[in-house]
Amino acid sequence: MRKVLFYLTLLGILGTTVFGMSAYEVMEKAKGKEAAEFQYSRQKMILVDKKNRKRVREFIGYSKKIDGENKSESCFKFIAPAEVKGTSMLMWDYDVNNKEDITWLSLPGIKKGAPRQISSSRNDKNASFMGSDFTLDDLGELELQKDNFNFVNSKESIIDGKECYIIESIPKQLNKYEIYSKRIFWIRKDNMVIAKVEYYDRDNKLFKVLTTKNLRSKEGGSSINKSGKYWYIKDMAMKNVQTGHSTYIFLLEINYPKQMDKKLFLPSTFYRK
């Protein structure tokens, strides 16, 4: 990975608008690419430490977007290997300033899997997700109301041959629970899909880098963005540049059904479905 100093010598703020579109509007379009009302997926996650030792996880995911409420609901269920099978998680994400996200975690064998609520105002939201380099906060959808956005000028604007917008995202309130002082997004200009993200720690040092590969599109069912066609990423990698640990996620299956069982998204029932 390139050193953070290299990027700091290249990056310079351009401002909030380019060619009549603001940085916030670009991020809105990138977020809109996720806007399937219902989504099912099956994914493989490979954890690799700095000595190249590997651990493999497989999970399924369900998600639902609630139009008009700036809310999304997601459920993850681990199906392999045996030591994590049955672990389930439910997340309610709100893209509004005055409403906190809520997460519930269910572990097999503990009070018949009864879920524990994880407060978004505690360190739990920044804990590792199942030993990976993703936090619970990373797994939630983009929450545009909570950050300020600016375009960045860089010579590194091309990813895999595709021209990108580069946008700096800074929390409006850097409270004690925030672990990132900023994030820098590379958004492809041809389809508004996220190609890369850099995460910086509270000392403004490069912390993690997310890269995406193998972009595909697929027709779907009910749609909030009304297009019925969705872009999705088959492969992604999160690299912790400070520890040398990496997480790779490979999409094995994806579908956009027209309906889903509402019990998948209720705290009292998600872990039983």
- pLDDT tens-place values along the chain, 273 residues long: 222 222 222 333 334 444 568 999 999 888 865 567 899 999 999 999 999 999 999 999 999 988 767 788 999 999 999 999 999 999 998 877 677 788 899 988 666 557 888 755 545 667 788 999 999 878 777 778 889 999 998 778 999 999 999 999 999 988 877 889 999 999 999 988 999 999 999 999 999 999 999 988 887 655 444 556 777 899 999 999 999 999 999 999 999 998 999 999 999 999 887
Which domain range does residue 63 map to? 4-265
Residue 270: CA count within 13 A, CB half-sphere: 28
CATH code (residue 69): 2.50.20.10
In a domain, 272, yes or no: no
In a domain, 228, yes or no: yes
Report the C-alpha gap between 107 and 186 in whole angstroms: 36
In a domain, 270, yes or no: no
What pTM was estimated for this model as a whole? 0.83
Give the pLDDT confidence score for residue 259 in this predicted structure. Answer: 92
In a domain, 273, yes or no: no
**200 contacts: CB under 8 Å, gap ≥ 6:** 4, 180, 181, 182, 183, 184, 206, 207
Give the pLDDT confidence score for residue 96 in this predicted structure. Answer: 74
Give the pLDDT confidence score for residue 3 in this predicted structure. Answer: 28
Cα torsion at 8, 1, 238, 29 (round to 10°)? 50
DSSP H stretches of helix in the chain: 4-10, 23-32, 136-139
